[in-house]
């Protein structure tokens, strides 16, 4: 087990390291859309602390929506299952990211933030900060934080639930910084029984290419074997 843990640590760090430049190459898709949306702004928020805080809160809501869609929509899950395919939990699992994030379409959920008046640079800053908070939640070292914090914010305990394959934990706790969205929209689940990390059907491989693409390969194989167009679209 220790040997496999070390193998996976190397795998996760490698995938995280590669995801930055590769996603960076295709970032023009999202960046172009954000700066294009500025042409349609209905208001312009100034660069103030209060505007930044409001942008940060609303960006966190868009992350919740993006995260929930990626769990419930099969094309999005083809991307996101890469991150969930680890059967353990540690800070390095936060780096286990796909390098295809600009191809699901969910990044376009940021466009309304620009249209209602936030500058794309401010939105990108909030995206950056929100994204890095997640890394801190990938740990088993921290059990519980103060009750008030556990109520309002995402914590290692809440995020362990999110990575669980236990029936009651599946598709729960989508929040990034604020867990309050899950409480509002009915997707919150507290950590109760020990978490079984990983997928319902685990990948059983350390091959980063297979881990990244096997979800989409399954989709295309289903489409290939479908009986008609309706069934293909369903897949």
CA Rg value for the chain:
19
Q: How far apart are CA 71 and CA 34, in angstroms?
A: 24
Three-state SS at 89: coil
Confidence (pLDDT) at 77 = 94
- For residue 178, which phi and psi values (nearest 5 degrees)? -95, 120
Buried b (16+ CB within 10 A) or exposed e, 188-223: bbebeeebebbeeeebeeeebeebbbbbbebeeeee
How many alpha carbons lie under 13 Å from residue 11 in its C-beta half-sphere?
Answer: 24
Confidence (pLDDT) at 25 = 82
- For residue 52, which phi and psi values (nearest 5 degrees)? -65, -45
Q: What is the pLDDT along the chain (235 residues), one digit of tens a residue?
A: 555 788 899 999 999 888 878 877 888 888 999 999 999 999 999 999 999 999 999 999 999 999 999 999 999 999 999 999 999 999 999 999 888 877 788 889 999 999 999 999 999 999 988 888 988 899 999 999 999 999 999 999 999 999 999 999 999 999 999 999 999 999 999 999 999 999 999 998 999 999 989 988 999 999 999 999 999 998 8
Q: Are 90 and 139 in contact (CB under 8 A)?
A: yes
Structure letter (DSSP) for residue 72 = H
Identify the bridge partners of residue 178 per DSSP, sorted by sequence position.
153
pTM for the whole structure: 0.91
Give the other-Cβ count within 10 Å of 70's Cβ: 22
Full DSSP string of 155-206: -HHHHHHHTB-SGGGTT----SSBTHHHHHHT------SPP-BS-SS-----
- The tokens for 103 are 């191809």
pLDDT digits (tens, 9 = 90+) for 108-138: 999 999 999 999 999 999 998 888 898 889 9
């Amino acid at each position: 087990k220790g040997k496999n843990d070390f193998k996976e640590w190397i795998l996760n760090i490698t995938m995280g390291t590669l995801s930055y430049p590769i996603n960076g190459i295709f970032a023009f898709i999202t960046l172009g859309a954000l700066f294009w949306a500025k042409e349609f702004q209905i208001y312009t928020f100034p660069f103030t602390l209060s505007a930044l805080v409001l942008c940060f809160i609303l960006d966190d809501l868009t992350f919740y929506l993006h995260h929930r869609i990626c769990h419930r929509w099969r094309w999005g899950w083809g991307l996101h299952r890469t991150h969930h395919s680890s059967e353990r939990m540690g800070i390095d699992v936060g780096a286990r990211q796909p390098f295809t994030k600009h191809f699901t379409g969910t990044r376009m959920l940021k466009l309304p933030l620009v249209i209602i008046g936030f500058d794309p640079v401010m939105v990108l800053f909030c995206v950056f900060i929100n994204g890095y908070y997640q890394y801190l939640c990938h740990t088993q070292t921290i059990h519980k934080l103060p009750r008030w914090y556990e109520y309002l914010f995402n914590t290692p305990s809440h995020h362990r639930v999110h990575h669980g394959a236990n029936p009651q934990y599946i598709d729960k706790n989508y929040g990034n910084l604020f867990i309050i969205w899950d409480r509002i929209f009915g997707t919150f689940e507290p950590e109760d029984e020990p978490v079984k990390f990983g997928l319902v059907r685990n990948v059983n491989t350390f091959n980063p290419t297979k881990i990244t693409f096997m979800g989409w390969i399954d989709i295309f194989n289903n489409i290939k074997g479908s009986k008609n167009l309706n069934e293909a679209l369903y897949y």
